[in-house]
Amino acid sequence: MNSSATRVSTALEPRLQAILQQEYPRFSDAEYARRHAALAGVMDKHGCDHLLVMTDHRAGNAPQWVTGWPGTAEAYVVFRPGEPMVMHMEWHNHVPLAHRLARGVDVRWGQHQGIALTVEALRQRGAKRVGLIGPLVVSKYRQLEAAFDMVVLDAEYTQLRMRKSAEEIDWLRIGAALSDAGMRALVAGTRPGMDERELAALVESAYVGLGGTTMIHYIGVTAMDAPHLFVPPQLPSTRKVRAGDIVTCELSAYWWDYPGQVLRTFTVEAEATPRYRELHATAEATFDAVAALLSHGTRMEEILEATSEIERCGYTVCDDLVHGFGGGYFQPIIGSRSRMAGRALPQMTLEENMTVVVQPNPVTTEADESKRSGVQVGELLRITHEGFEHLHSLPRGLFRAGQDI
């Protein structure tokens, strides 16, 4: 186990270490019962006699939430309260592991015609009105639509995922710890001469040995005196790190379906220039202003007002400044007044045990985008009744490459 992995493992509370050390981690039976009861309530609300929960071409996480199986290729889960679930899945060599992870589920190979076999299974059960959760290509949806009265319930599923149980929050704590490890490894290991691909390898090396997997690592490297980017790109380039650079990063490591998200900025063999110091100070002040408002019942207008430090300092944002997270990218999604995240603010208030990322990313406003500068600051938080909880332990600050944080 490398030093980053050891640091994560020893820092976690014993109950979280126990989750980390399971052969294959699984939620309690009570947690799955809670989820199944919630789905039964959605079905009853919409008059559905069956529910189809699916992953198609690796898109969609509902089967994992319902059964524990991550849906590595295709997985079509037939659910009805009080009856065993049936799951047709691909590929054949994935079936043995699915038998182990999807306990209490009748796991069947889909034979490369999983949707047809699912239609047949639903007919055998006497299904008439079927709720659907998960993305599906049009041709497959038409097969379902031809046989049943279909009701798309993705919005209902999103609502269920927005509010986390205590067990889910524990898994997010592990995802946050793995993400912190990736950021620590990146800051400590960045050296002149490395390219962005090698930086990505630094990040992943910190958590793969503990069972973590990569959701994202967006790493941007640019010269402080002649910046060519203001937001980290989604794919690494061959651009090499040089003395005098600044590195901005947004990364999320998964613990199964539960990621952290942490954003930081650091320099390479140089102090930050006045422009970057001011950008970073603006980001920190905005983070504090937004976080100070967070609690059960916070209104969206309050959050938007708290972002005004961005514009007061003459900057704007490129990325969303606040968004729900953990099982999906959820509302509230909020930008700032100069770059709204939509036509209108979401009509909602925060609720206890929602999890949100606060990530001020001030950027300069030159007309020529190639000359803009920007920084990244932020992390995942849990909303409590009276305020919020940091799920990450990584310190904030404008760091320097080679620093142990």
pLDDT in tens, the chain (405 residues): 566 666 776 689 999 999 999 999 999 999 999 999 999 999 999 999 999 999 998 899 999 999 999 999 999 999 999 999 999 999 999 999 999 999 899 999 999 999 999 999 999 999 999 999 999 999 999 999 999 999 999 999 999 999 999 999 999 999 999 999 999 999 999 999 999 999 999 999 999 999 999 999 999 999 999 999 999 999 999 999 999 999 999 999 999 999 999 999 999 999 999 999 999 999 999 999 999 999 999 999 999 999 999 999 999 999 999 999 999 999 999 999 999 999 999 999 999 999 999 999 999 999 999 999 999 999 999 999 999 999 999 999 999 999 999
| Together in a domain, 155 and 204 | no
The three-state secondary structure class of 264 is strand
| Together in a domain, 177 and 236 | yes
> Would you tell me how many other CB atoms lie within 10 Å of the CB of residue 82?
6
Report the CATH number that the domain containing residue 197 is assigned in CATH: 3.90.230.10
Q: What is the total count of domains within the chain?
A: 2
| Together in a domain, 205 and 269 | yes
| Together in a domain, 173 and 152 | no
| Together in a domain, 86 and 175 | no
| Together in a domain, 373 and 255 | yes
Report the CATH number that the domain containing residue 139 is assigned in CATH: 3.40.350.10
Q: Which domain holds residue 82?
A: 29-162
> Would you tell me how many other CB atoms lie within 10 Å of the CB of residue 224?
18
First to last CA, the chain: 19
Run of H or E residues at 156: helix 154-162
| Together in a domain, 280 and 259 | yes
| Together in a domain, 299 and 224 | yes
Tokens standing for residue 54: 């699916």
> Would you tell me how many other CB atoms lie within 10 Å of the CB of residue 104?
10
Q: Which stretches does DSSP call E strand in 13-84?
A: 50-55, 74-79
10 inside domain = no
Is the separation of the CB atoms in 188 and 404 below 8 Å? yes
262 inside domain = yes
pTM of the predicted model as reported, rounded to 2 decimal places = 0.96
